[in-house]
Amino acid sequence: MFEAILLTVITASTPLVLAALGELVTERSGVLNLGVEGMMIMGAACAFVAAQLTGSPYVGLLAGILGGGVFSLLFGLLTLTLVANQVATGLALTILGLGLSGQIGEAFVGQPGIKLQPIVFPLLSDIPFFGRVLFAQDLTFYLSVVLVIGINWFLFRSRTGLKLRAIGDNHASAHALGINVIRTRYLAVMFGGACAGLAGAQLSLVYTPQWVENMSAGRGWIALALVVFASWRPWRVLAGGYLFGAVGIGQLHAQILAQNLGIVIPSQFLSALPYAATIVVLIIISHNRRTTLINTPASLGKPFVPDR
């Protein structure tokens, strides 16, 4: 029973971790992308449609990554090249993504999806309890773990990662040292969009293998909060993602338990628990302003124009 719940928590947490990791890299470069929700739902729509048309969930994964990445290029064009307001642009692209994804997936509503099957490691998957949890998961789970390790090394061990963090902390000084701020931010934004698209693909190919309009259901916003919760640290994103995923799955089991006990609890109240938990966590974090200021990229959300 506990193993089944843990497997469900992992599946529910993976898209949060993937989207938050991409946003973490984007914000480390000094760009605030509030369009994660729109990029995630675009990834979900593109992945499902591509999988249906080709019969391959792996093609669907690639299409989801591409869909999120292309959508992020629009965000980059508006905010980095045309210097539009990052907050307003992100909100606008979220609305655009929700509408456009609905149009893309309209003809596929109600069709059974092609599920991305787990990768089973012989012998290791037979280990009691931990075998299925760690060695019989789908590709997106393993990618999330690899990304945590890779991003942590990239940001804190590589010269390119140091340059990216320098841009996020002080883009003017980084530019004076000869670092191409705009190009680096474009790459960071595209990486964040690709991760959001991959997270969306996980939703429509693994978590719920079907297309449902607005199926991201606010997960992009939770991913944004998760970056702040993690203080812009990849390992904390992994832990926080599973915490929020557990809260989301917990409310489903709480509904079933309440029904079995004859307790009347409005389903809307339980469904709101993950988002209420997000608000509570952000309130707690805001009280420790010193830690928040130390870890927050100083140039976050600030536009940069080389000629100025």
Residue 154 — very low, low, confident or very high, per pLDDT cuts 50/70/90? very high
Domain coordinates of the chain in residue numbers?
Answer: 2-295
CA distances from 178 to 54, 187, 240 (A): 45, 17, 36
The backbone region for 157, taken as left when phi is positive above 0, alpha when psi lies in -120 to 50, beta otherwise, is alpha
Closest CA to 39 of 75, 11, 9, 14: 75
Q: What is the mean pLDDT of residues 199-220?
A: 92
Residue 287 — very low, low, confident or very high, per pLDDT cuts 50/70/90? low
For the domain 2-295, what is the CATH code? 1.10.3470
For the stretch 48-65, pLDDT in tens is 999 999 999 999 999 999
The residue count for the chain: 308
Dihedral, CA atoms, 254, 260, 263, 269, nearest 10 degrees?
30
> Which residue reads 């914000």 in tokens?
27
pLDDT of 291 over the 80 cut: no
The beta strand positions in 108-235, using DSSP E, are 119-120, 136-137
Share above pLDDT 90 across residues of the chain, in percent, rounded to a whole number: 64
Round to the nearest angstrom and report the end-to-end CA distance of the chain: 61
Closest CA to 304 of 165, 164, 172, 166: 172
Instruction: Looking at mean pLDDT, say which of 26-40, 103-117, 211-225 comes out highest.
Output: 26-40
* pLDDT score recorded for residue 129: 76
Residue 229 — very low, low, confident or very high, per pLDDT cuts 50/70/90? confident
Closest CA to 165 of 299, 20, 269: 299
> For the stretch 8-27, what's the b/e string if a residue is b when 16 or more beta carbons lie within 10 angstroms of its beta carbon?
bbbbbbbbbbbbbbbbbbbb
CA distances from 305 to 80, 95, 202, 296 (A): 8, 27, 36, 21
Whether 15 contacts 200, CB under 8 Å = yes
* H/E run at residue 256: helix 234-260
Q: Does the pTM of the predicted model rise above 0.85?
A: yes
